[in-house]
Amino acid sequence: MDMNVSMVNGTNVITLNGRFDAFEAPPLIKWFEDNVTKEQADVVVDLGGVNFLDSAALASLVKGMKRCRERGGDLVICNLQQAVRIIFELTGLHKAFVIAETREAALSA
Amino acid sequence: MVYHNYEHWKTTPNTGEPFLSIVIPAYNEEIRIIPTIGAIASHVSDLGFPWELIIADDGSKDSTVKITQELGFVNMRVLIAEKNGGKGSAVRRGMLAARGKYVLFADADNSTPIEEVTKLIAKLDTEGFDVAVGSRAAEGASEGKKSLMRHILSGGLRTIVRYGLRIKVRDTQCGFKMYTREAARKLHTAQTIDGFSFDLEVLYLAFKLGYKVAEVPVSWIDAPGSKVNARKEVQRFVKDIFRILSNDLKGVYTQRLAADAHSDSVHVPA
């Protein structure tokens, strides 16, 4: 899986591509731990390039979301492919996250 | 991708014979199985044919049965086992319960991405094969994140199988295989092995019975959380090779197939 981070209008945007599973979750968790602060607590995760994610990947996003919210911000996910959207629905996590259709919508959420 | 196709599949029962049945054997898969079901339901619902999903539980002690039943998909069945009988027993129950023209079994961790299914369908539906074996060893296949132990294990086993059983398939163990329903019924009725090497036996029988078998390169990812104990399974695998040869010499397979041919109902060994 590829993971790229960019700064867009003062918000960190993480772009993920490929299969997102337990092999890929630890670096993402570490990124949240290292970079989410009270001063920089909003994060957008663009999953447009992700075609499958497993429970470890979902757990890493939940951890990231909690860290953002604890510091006064939020984690918004966007650009979900259909399979990923369905996985969020089947696990009930679509109710826990703010999910935006596009990156632009996520940045203005 | 059309979300409506998925919604239709999960709420509208199939009428008549499904084109495809997908069997997922599951033992204590509460962590991994829901994302796999989601990926399969999303992709296959878009392929434009009626299909069913069968979760063949293998006596799970966790909440695998509960969480899959709670999904409430009308075209998904959960086959419950009272006790753990081995992956082979779960696959057999699923394959014999399948109603589809073609039957795929796929592992619960989506280690072979479901997008590869169309390659196997083409072999059976267009090229006339009876069995299509997803292969990590065929030319064009790709293996991601394969551990050293997996390399040693698979290389050694391939050599043993090639010379011991003369199976003309390089990768017998990939958990992604498709059969015509008739082939699935015969092969899994004759199957005696309930453990890890059941598909070795099934492929041995496929060649013995003269089925046309295609080896199809697929991508495969060594998904975390594998339940394979390499050393233990190699020992059992070698033992099972002798068991298969012994069964054949004793006429065990001939007897099972003859019994099935004279039976109106499908016999599922305990």
Question: B226-235 pLDDT, tens per residue?
Answer: 666 667 777 8
Lowest mean pLDDT among A8-22, A50-64, A76-90, B222-236: B222-236
Q: Where are the alpha helices (DSSP H) in A1-109?
A: 25-35, 55-70, 82-91, 103-107
Rounded to an integer, what distance in angstroms lies between the CA atom of residue B132 and that of residue B216?
7
B270 within some domain: no
Q: What is the CA radius of gyration of chain B?
A: 18
Chain A residues within 8 Å of chain B (Cβ atoms): 19, 21-23, 51-56, 58, 81-83, 85-87, 89-91
**CA dihedral of B199, B203, B204, B207, whole degrees rounded to 10:** 170
B42 within some domain: yes
For A70-79, what is the mean pLDDT? 97
Please indicate whether residue B137 or residue B253 has the higher confidence score (pLDDT): B253
Taking CB atoms and an 8 Å cut-off, how many pairs form between chains A and B?
A: 62
Rounded to an integer, what distance in angstroms lies between the CA atom of residue B214 and that of residue B177?
10
B88 within some domain: yes
Rounded to an integer, what distance in angstroms lies between the CA atom of residue B223 and that of residue A60?
17
Residues 6+ away with beta carbon under 8 Å from B249 = none
Percent of chain B with pLDDT over 90: 71
Q: B215 near B158, Cβ under 8 Å?
A: no
The pLDDT of residue B228 is 62
Domain range for B199: 3-261
The pLDDT of residue B162 is 77
The pLDDT of residue B270 is 39
Number of Cβ atoms within 10 Å of the Cβ of B42: 26
Looking up tokens 């796929």 gives B106
CA A16-A20-A26 angle, 5° bins: 90
B268 within some domain: no
| Residue of B248, B240, B206 whose CA lies nearest to B86 | B240
Domain range for A20: 2-107
Residues of A in contact with B113 (CB under 8 A): 19, 51-52
Query: Hey, is B184 helix, strand or coil?
Result: helix
B269 within some domain: no
Is residue B264 predicted with pLDDT exceeding 80? no
The torsion angles phi and psi of B86, rounded to 5 degrees, stand at: 105, 155
Please state the ipTM of this predicted complex: 0.93
Q: How many domains does chain B have?
A: 1
Tens of pLDDT, residue by residue over B201-214, are 999 999 999 999 99
Q: How many domains does chain A have?
A: 1
Lowest mean pLDDT among B7-16, B63-72, B102-111, B261-270: B261-270
The domain spanning residue B218 has which CATH number? 3.90.550.10
Cβ-defined contact of A52 to B37 (cutoff 8 Å): no
Rounded to an integer, what distance in angstroms lies between the CA atom of residue B242 and that of residue A104?
62
Residues of B in contact with A58 (CB under 8 A): 35
| Dihedral sign computed on CA atoms, order B223, B225, B231, B237 | negative
Please indicate whether residue A65 or residue B144 has the higher confidence score (pLDDT): A65
Rounded to an integer, what distance in angstroms lies between the CA atom of residue B13 and that of residue B194?
32
The domain spanning residue A15 has which CATH number? 3.30.750.24
